[in-house]
């Protein structure tokens, strides 16, 4: 990057260096791209990260094990449930703790609702970056209902802090099951409407099909995870391939990009895999609500947690792909080290490689299709 | 650009017309439907506070009448926004009293971790959330009066429930006391005024002045 | 204790006075403008001016030539003033209407705080913009930066010269009206290009360049498709084109000739592109170019651009109505009826004024319908990319525009040879249009039902 900034630009050349961010409506203060353009065509776009760094991993070393849970909300504030769950599972592995079945189910329900909410934001902002404002607000409207549901479940709309080490904090409130099922009925219809409104709009398809193609091998090389990886045609989902929690009990499909309108691995595939995933999540929530077992929601956990010295790793399939927590204990009541591996950070790496030859407008589509969330990049 | 066949050329016109047809009909159908915006704050059917679910995590409220002074909430708080000081009642040395119970709502992240260990349910989240203040220091809620420390509650293990005042009433009363633009305290938090009578008696009994400490224990003081 | 003592909660509603005031301004302001245009535009014709002054007791004919010219100039200046204000106020009201419509399309409520239904929001916005600091970037080309809004505004204002409002209601019925209109429109892009260049901002430069490329490219299909109604009418004059059409839908150009329908679609798309409206809002694409050529503008200059952008909607719609939708033609009222109502006197009779008002109402309603179509499209479609914008223009619109132009030539020969061909085509196409509209409405209601919702127009 230094090279790019410091290189003298020939005054007679046609090239222009653009600072795409941080003060830009598409990157809104948290990311910067240094873009080398020749007219509308980019020669290169180099991401510059770190604008939202808040030392979340370092904070983990200064608070107690349960006390770190609210901080995980802030690692990915669009889909905080997954960060909760990943951290909880890591500490449970340190403590060798069995989580009650009902808690596993509640985790699955809350996470899948959260996945729908997160994907709604993702596809919504994507349509807005392509220039259509209405679908975004339709997505946000549906997400609002999910927020209401989660608020009724755990009392917060964004930073849930719902999972606990050894289970979850609250049981289902009264009437919540029926409200959720009613919402899912509505939501399945909404997905059809959304597809007709924007997904297969000719302009939208033309803007995304065959744009910024990432092949399967390239995606694996760069460590892409989650919908981005599946959009490139790689059939890999931790919920099925390395099951955890309640997931082995559910039937669901893993949508994989196969070139829905263009090439496999183009921006539209990454987008549409998310749309299909929402339908699958909706199925999972239905199944979970039907089969949820009775019982405890929280295992017996000592108030002052002091795991034995050791280390544990957890991997969960978050809305942005694989999220891993690595927790090291030194036997005290505070972690020795907490490390979070997030999908957005690796997704940023591929932009430099994919961007040459794209147009400036495609860069926006590429960033949106990778669904990067700034706090996840910087933590 | 690859060569375009006639079929693709005509097909793209066809799919354009078709997709616009659907798109326009959907936006028009929404024009005919009712918007779902909640018109906060003054055009909702109820006060927004009353529309929130019961588990909503708003401002913390402490009921001093059933507070056991166990300090579990203080220990659970990851950001140390709760400060509790326990003392012995000068009148009755066996009775412990809480002389300071400050919650800095400006710092609180409303995670609810303090509520969970409370043995009596004294500290609770309420559905109050509207209390913007011109001076951020006014968001320190003092649940114990330093001049009139409250005695700790003795837990009756056999009790079915603990008599708690209606949730939210205490926070509301505290919010009503203070105008939004009230000047903040000079120090943060202000030195709790001590009863003047205590001073002559104290030096002999008390070790290095615990009464002066409370200010130093709160998270704000450097 | 007193400051925020809890009050019993009651949902807020707009007070009755606010509702009345809003209605008074919302209906009164446009009515006053339309009335002014109605009376002023005939009076700027010399003979009418003399007669009108005669009513006031002045003997216009006996005035010196200088005095006559002065009076004539004053009348024209007054009309120009009214038309400019009309442009500005229509632009403001369009902003309000667009925001209200779009918010409902997005399940929102939208403006509803300033005045009843938020009607005065556009006034508030304008006042706010006027009070903002007028910032000129230090490294900008100060002269061009300051000048460019006026190019845009001038281009916009000049369009109103030939914009018809009714049978005799037009500032000047130039015999090259539509040609004049196309040429002054080009002035707007000069302003935008200057703004992009002089701002010394990369985003503005991008926006300016995109705007220039776009507008220049789309002038061609727009010009070609305009030629179709011109061919059919045999005149370039705006009023002349309208007079060649009839009042009923099957007498409109758009339906009497199938190729004119194609031409209308092309014209409409090109107008969207020239007006920088979605899906052609590339020059100010927010997610890509921050605000495009407007990036560095603030205060009054920004307001001018905004005024022109939204005022343009009216112009675009009015031109489309003029060329394709029969303009101000009122059913059952033909040219003879107008002439008969006018009478032989120096000043027309009351009936004539009534007919003029009627024709104006017809024209305004049609224009508003087209305007709503543009608004509706904006809030549905995404934005196309720069290369696709060019592809669309050169590969789709230009060939089709050429084809419809040539086909119209042949069509005119056919019309001259075969009787009733225009009427039959008109009826068939009108029927087809109604069918499509009905199907569309059914589709829309099906959409409402499919989501388990119902038609509900409350909550404004």
What pLDDT tens digit does each residue of chain C (460 aa) get?
444 555 677 777 778 888 888 888 888 888 888 888 888 887 777 777 777 777 777 777 777 788 778 878 888 888 889 888 888 888 888 889 888 888 888 888 888 888 788 888 888 988 888 888 888 888 888 888 888 888 888 988 898 888 888 888 888 888 888 889 888 888 888 888 888 888 888 888 888 888 888 888 898 999 899 989 998 888 888 888 888 888 888 888 888 888 888 999 999 999 888 888 878 888 777 667 777 888 888 888 888 888 888 888 899 899 999 998 888 888 887 878 877 777 777 777 778 888 888 888 999 999 999 999 999 998 888 888 888 888 888 888 999 999 999 999 998 888 888 888 888 888 898 999 999 999 999 988 888 888 777 777 776 6
| Residue C43: closest CA among C74, C12, C2, C66 | C74
Q: What is the mean pLDDT of residues B62-89?
A: 86
Cβ(C330)–Cβ(C247) under 8 Å? yes
Which residues contact residue C1 at a Cβ distance below 8 angstroms, ignoring those fewer than 6 apart?
B176, B177
Count of CB atoms within 10 A of residue C409's CB? Answer: 14
| Residue A277: closest CA among A302, A294, A255, A292 | A255
Rounded to a whole number of angstroms, the distance from the CA of B33 to the nearest CA of chain A is 13
Rounded to a whole number of angstroms, the distance from the CA of A156 to the nearest CA of chain B is 6
pLDDT for B143: 85
Question: Which residues numbered 4-23 in B keep a CB inside 8 Å of some CB on C?
Answer: 9, 13, 20-23
pLDDT for B205: 42
Which residues contact residue A245 at a Cβ distance below 8 angstroms, ignoring those fewer than 6 apart?
A85, A89, A99, A104, A107, A108
B176 φ, ψ (degrees, to nearest 5):
-70, -25
Residue B207: pLDDT over 50: no
Burial (CB < 10 A; 0-12, 13-18, 19+), residue C158, is middle
Q: Choose the mutation target among C448, C449, C450, C457 for the interface with B, i.e. most B CBs under 10 Å.
A: C448
Confirm or reject contact between A70 and chain B (CB < 8 A). yes
A44 φ, ψ (degrees, to nearest 5):
-170, 145
Q: Give contacts of B5 with chain C, Cβ < 8 Å.
A: none
CA distance C404 to C217: 18
Confirm or reject contact between A11 and chain C (CB < 8 A). no
Rg (chain A; Cα; Å): 21
Confirm or reject contact between C451 and chain A (CB < 8 A). yes
C384 contacts A207? CB cut-off 8 A: yes
Q: Which of C286, C288, C381 sits opposite A360 (nearest CB)?
A: C288
Q: Quick: pLDDT tens for B158-181.
A: 777 788 888 888 888 888 887 888
- What sign has the CA pseudo-torsion C47, C48, C50, C55? positive
CA distance B109 to A118: 22
Bridge partner list, B142: B102
| Residue C377: closest CA among C296, C266, C272 | C272
Confirm or reject contact between C391 and chain A (CB < 8 A). no
A16 sits in which H/E element? strand A15-20
Cβ(C375)–Cβ(C103) under 8 Å? no
Confirm or reject contact between B77 and chain A (CB < 8 A). yes
Q: Give contacts of C278 with chain A, Cβ < 8 Å.
A: 131-132
Q: Which of B35, B47, B180 sits opposite C108 (nearest CB)?
A: B35
Q: Mean pLDDT in chain B?
A: 77
Q: Give contacts of A173 with chain B, Cβ < 8 Å.
A: 53-55
CA distance A80 to A160: 7
Residue A6: pLDDT over 50: no
Q: Quick: pLDDT tens for A335-376.
A: 898 988 888 888 888 888 888 888 888 888 888 888 888 888
Rounded to a whole number of angstroms, the distance from the CA of C204 to the nearest CA of chain B is 29
CA C248, C249, C252 angle in degrees (round to 5)?
95
| Residue A289: closest CA among A336, A246, A239, A240 | A246
pLDDT for C6: 55
Nearest residue of B to residue A176, measured between CA atoms: B53
Find how far residue A109's CA is from the centre of its chain. 16
Q: Give contacts of A206 with chain C, Cβ < 8 Å.
A: 384-385, 388
Confirm or reject contact between A15 and chain C (CB < 8 A). no
- The three-class DSSP label of residue C130 is helix
CA distance A293 to A106: 10
Q: Which of B24, B29, B177 sits opposite C1 (nearest CB)?
A: B177
B73 sits in which H/E element? helix B72-76
B23 contacts C12? CB cut-off 8 A: no
Cβ-Cβ contacts under 8 Å between A and B: the total is 78
Q: Quick: pLDDT tens for A17-56.
A: 888 878 787 777 788 888 888 878 888 888 888 888 888 8
pLDDT for B187: 59
pLDDT for B191: 57
| Residue C61: closest CA among C47, C79, C75, C74 | C47
Confirm or reject contact between C396 and chain B (CB < 8 A). yes
Angle of helix C65-105 relative to helix B6-31, nearest 10 degrees, comes to 90
Confirm or reject contact between A333 and chain C (CB < 8 A). no
pLDDT for C438: 92
Which residues contact residue A39 at a Cβ distance below 8 angstroms, ignoring those fewer than 6 apart?
A14
| Residue A314: closest CA among A325, A303, A301 | A325
CA distance A230 to A264: 10
DSSP code per residue over C323-345 = HHS-TTPPTT--HHHHHHHH-SS
Confirm or reject contact between C388 and chain A (CB < 8 A). yes
C281 contacts A131? CB cut-off 8 A: yes
Nearest residue of B to residue C106, measured between CA atoms: B30
Question: Which residues numbered 424-443 in C keep a CB inside 8 Å of some CB on B?
Answer: 440, 443
C454 contacts B24? CB cut-off 8 A: no
- The three-class DSSP label of residue A242 is coil
Count of CB atoms within 10 A of residue A121's CB? Answer: 19
Residue B146: pLDDT over 80: no
A67 contacts B55? CB cut-off 8 A: no
Which residues contact residue A258 at a Cβ distance below 8 angstroms, ignoring those fewer than 6 apart?
A233, A264, A269
Which residues contact residue B5 at a Cβ distance below 8 angstroms, ignoring those fewer than 6 apart?
none
CA distance A370 to C26: 47
Confirm or reject contact between B158 and chain A (CB < 8 A). no
Which residues contact residue A107 at a Cβ distance below 8 angstroms, ignoring those fewer than 6 apart?
A81, A85, A163, A168, A245, A246
Contacts 24+ apart (CB under 8 A), C209-212: C210/A40, C210/C282, C210/C283, C210/C289, C210/C292, C210/C386, C211/C276, C211/C282, C211/C283, C211/C292, C211/C293
C106 contacts A26? CB cut-off 8 A: no
Q: What is the pTM of this model?
A: 0.86
Confirm or reject contact between C3 and chain B (CB < 8 A). yes
- What sign has the CA pseudo-torsion A205, A210, A213, A217? positive
pLDDT for B204: 43
Residue B216: pLDDT over 50: no
CA distance A364 to C285: 11
Percent pLDDT > 90 in chain B is 0
pLDDT for A258: 84
Q: What is the mean pLDDT of residues A225-243?
A: 88
Residue A39's Cβ-side half-sphere holds a number of Cα atoms within 13 Å equal to 7
Rg (chain B; Cα; Å): 28
For the record, the structure tokens of A34 come out as: 């240094």
Nearest residue of A to residue C378, measured between CA atoms: A132
Q: Which of C105, C379, C381 sits opposite A203 (nearest CB)?
A: C381
Angle of helix B6-31 relative to helix C350-378, nearest 10 degrees, comes to 110
CA distance C168 to C338: 10
CA C274, C98, C310 angle in degrees (round to 5)?
35
DSSP code per residue over B159-206 = -SS---PPTTHHHHHHHHHS-TTPPPPSSSSPPPPPPTTHHHHHHHHS
B107 sits in which H/E element? none
C376 contacts B43? CB cut-off 8 A: no
Q: What share of chain B is helix, strand, coil (3-state, %, to 5)?
A: 30, 15, 55
Cβ(A368)–Cβ(A349) under 8 Å? no
For the record, the structure tokens of A172 come out as: 């289902």
B34 contacts C458? CB cut-off 8 A: yes
DSSP code per residue over C69-112 = HHHHHHHHHHHHHHHHHHHHHHHHHHHHHHHHHHHHHTT-----
Residue A7's Cβ-side half-sphere holds a number of Cα atoms within 13 Å equal to 12
Cβ(B126)–Cβ(B59) under 8 Å? yes
CA A73, A74, A77 angle in degrees (round to 5)?
80
Residue A299: pLDDT over 80: yes
Q: Which of A73, A151, A202 sits opposite B19 (nearest CB)?
A: A202
CA distance C314 to C369: 10
CA distance C138 to C199: 9
Q: Choose the mutation target among C210, C287, C396, C448 for the interface with A, i.e. most A CBs under 10 Å.
A: C287
| Residue A15: closest CA among A33, A40, A32, A46 | A40
B175 contacts C108? CB cut-off 8 A: no
Q: Give contacts of B44 with chain C, Cβ < 8 Å.
A: 11
Q: Which of B30, B78, B125 sits opposite A67 (nearest CB)?
A: B78
CA distance A33 to C259: 48
Residue B221: pLDDT over 70: no
């Amino acid at each position: 990057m230094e090279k790019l900034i410091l290189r003298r630009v020939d005054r007679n050349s046609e090239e222009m260096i653009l600072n795409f961010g941080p003060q830009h409506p598409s990157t809104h203060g948290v990311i910067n791209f240094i873009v080398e353009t020749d007219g509308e065509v980019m020669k290169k776009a180099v991401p510059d990260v770190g604008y939202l760094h808040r030392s979340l991993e370092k904070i983990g070393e200064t608070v107690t094990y349960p006390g770190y849970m609210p901080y995980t909300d802030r690692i990915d504030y669009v889909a905080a449930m997954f960060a909760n769950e990943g951290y909880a599972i890591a500490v449970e592995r340190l403590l060798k703790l069995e989580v009650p079945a009902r808690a596993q189910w509640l985790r699955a329900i809350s996470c899948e609702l959260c996945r729908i909410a997160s994907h709604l934001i993702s596809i919504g902002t994507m349509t807005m970056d392509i220039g259509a404002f209405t679908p975004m607000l339709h997505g946000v409207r549906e997400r609002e209902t999910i927020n209401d549901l989660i608020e009724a479940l755990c009392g917060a709309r964004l930073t849930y802090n719902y999972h606990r080490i050894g289970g979850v904090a609250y049981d289902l409130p009264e009437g919540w099951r029926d409200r959720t099922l009613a919402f899912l009925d509505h939501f399945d219809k909404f997905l059809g409407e959304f597809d007709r409104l924007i997904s297969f709009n000719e302009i939208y398809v033309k803007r995304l099909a065959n744009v910024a193609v990432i092949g399967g091998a390239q995606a694996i090389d760069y460590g892409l995870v989650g919908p981005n990886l599946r959009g490139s045609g790689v059939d890999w989902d931790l919920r099925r391939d390395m099951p955890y929690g309640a997931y082995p009990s559910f039937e669901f499909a893993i949508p994989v990009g196969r070139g829905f309108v263009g090439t496999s691995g183009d921006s539209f595939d990454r987008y549409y895999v998310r749309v299909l995933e929402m339908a699958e999540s909706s199925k999972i929530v239905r199944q979970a609500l039907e089969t949820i077992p009775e019982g405890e929601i929280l295992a017996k956990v000592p108030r002052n947690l002091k795991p034995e010295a050791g280390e544990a790793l957890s991997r969960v399939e978050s809305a942005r792909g694989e999220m891993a927590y690595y927790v090291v204990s030194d036997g005290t009541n505070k972690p020795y080290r907490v490390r979070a591996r997030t999908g957005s950070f690796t997704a940023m790496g591929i932009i430099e490689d994919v961007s040459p030859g794209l147009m400036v407008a495609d860069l926006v589509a590429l960033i949106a299709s990778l669904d990067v969330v700034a706090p996840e990049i910087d933590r | 650009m690859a060569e375009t066949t006639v079929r693709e050329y005509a097909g793209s016109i066809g799919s354009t017309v078709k997709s616009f047809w659907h798109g326009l009909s959907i936006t028009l159908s929404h024009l005919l439907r009712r918007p779902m915006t909640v018109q906060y704050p003054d055009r909702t059917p109820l006060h927004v506070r009353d529309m929130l679910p019961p588990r909503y995590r708003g401002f913390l409220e402490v009921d001093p009448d059933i507070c056991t002074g166990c300090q579990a909430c203080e220990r659970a708080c990851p950001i140390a926004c709760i400060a509790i000081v326990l003392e012995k009642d000068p009148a009755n040395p066996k009775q412990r009293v809480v002389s300071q119970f400050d919650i800095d709502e400006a710092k609180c992240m409303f995670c609810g971790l303090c509520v969970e260990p409370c043995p009596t349910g004294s500290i609770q989240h309420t559905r109050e959330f509207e209390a913007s203040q011109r001076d951020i220091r006014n968001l320190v809620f003092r649940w114990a009066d330093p001049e009139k420390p409250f005695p700790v509650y003795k837990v009756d293990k056999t009790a079915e429930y603990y008599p708690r005042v209606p949730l939210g009433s205490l926070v509301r009363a505290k919010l009503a006391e203070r105008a939004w633009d009230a000047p903040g305290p000079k120090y943060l938090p202000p030195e709790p005024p001590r009863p003047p009578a205590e001073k002559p008696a104290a030096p002999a009994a008390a070790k290095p002045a615990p009464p002066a400490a409370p200010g130093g224990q709160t998270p704000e003081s450097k | 204790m007193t400051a925020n003592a809890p009050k019993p909660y009651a949902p807020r509603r707009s007070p009755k006075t606010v509702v009345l005031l809003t209605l008074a301004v919302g209906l009164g302001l446009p009515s006053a403008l339309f009335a002014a245009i109605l009376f002023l535009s005939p009076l700027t014709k010399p003979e009418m001016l003399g007669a009108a002054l005669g009513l006031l007791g002045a003997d216009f004919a006996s005035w010196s030539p200088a005095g006559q010219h002065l009076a004539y100039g004053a009348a024209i200046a007054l009309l120009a003033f009214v038309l400019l204000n009309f442009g500005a106020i229509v632009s403001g009201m369009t902003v309000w209407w667009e925001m209200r419509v779009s918010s409902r399309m997005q399940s929102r409520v939208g403006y509803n705080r300033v005045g009843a239904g938020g009607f005065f929001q556009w006034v508030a916005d304008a006042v706010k913009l006027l009070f903002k600091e007028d910032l000129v970037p230090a490294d900008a080309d100060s002269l061009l930066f300051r000048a460019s809004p006026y190019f845009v505004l001038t281009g916009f204002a000049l369009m109103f010269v030939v914009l018809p409002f009714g049978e005799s209601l037009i500032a000047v019925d130039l015999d090259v009206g539509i040609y004049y209109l196309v040429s002054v429109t080009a002035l707007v892009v000069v302003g935008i290009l200057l703004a992009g260049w002089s701002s010394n901002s990369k985003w503005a430069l991008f926006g300016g360049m995109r705007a220039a490329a776009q507008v220049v490219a789309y002038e061609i299909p727009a010009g070609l498709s305009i030629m179709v109604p011109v061919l059919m009418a045999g005149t370039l004059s705006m009023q002349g084109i309208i007079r060649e059409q009839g009042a009923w839908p099957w007498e409109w150009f758009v339906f009497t000739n199938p190729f004119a329908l194609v031409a209308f679609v092309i014209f409409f798309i090109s107008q969207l592109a020239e007006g920088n409206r979605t899906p052609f809002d590339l020059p100010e694409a927010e997610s890509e170019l921050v605000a495009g050529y407007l990036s560095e503008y603030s205060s009054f200059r920004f307001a001018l651009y905004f005024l022109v952008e939204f005022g343009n909607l009216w112009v675009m719609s009015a031109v489309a109505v003029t060329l394709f939708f029969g303009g101000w033609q009122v059913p059952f009222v033909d040219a003879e009826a107008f002439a008969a109502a006018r009478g032989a006197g120096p000043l027309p009779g009351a009936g004539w004024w009534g007919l003029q008002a009627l024709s104006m109402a017809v024209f305004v309603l049609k224009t508003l319908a087209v305007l709503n179509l543009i608004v509706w499209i904006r809030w549905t479609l995404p934005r196309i990319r720069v290369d696709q914008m060019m592809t669309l223009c050169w590969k789709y619109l230009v060939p089709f525009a050429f084809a419809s132009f040539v086909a119209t030539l042949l069509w005119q020969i056919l019309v001259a040879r075969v009787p009733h061909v225009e009427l039959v085509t008109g009826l068939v196409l009108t029927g087809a249009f109604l069918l499509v509209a009905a199907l569309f409405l059914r589709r829309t209601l099906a959409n409402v039902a499919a989501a388990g919702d119902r038609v509900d127009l409350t909550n404004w």
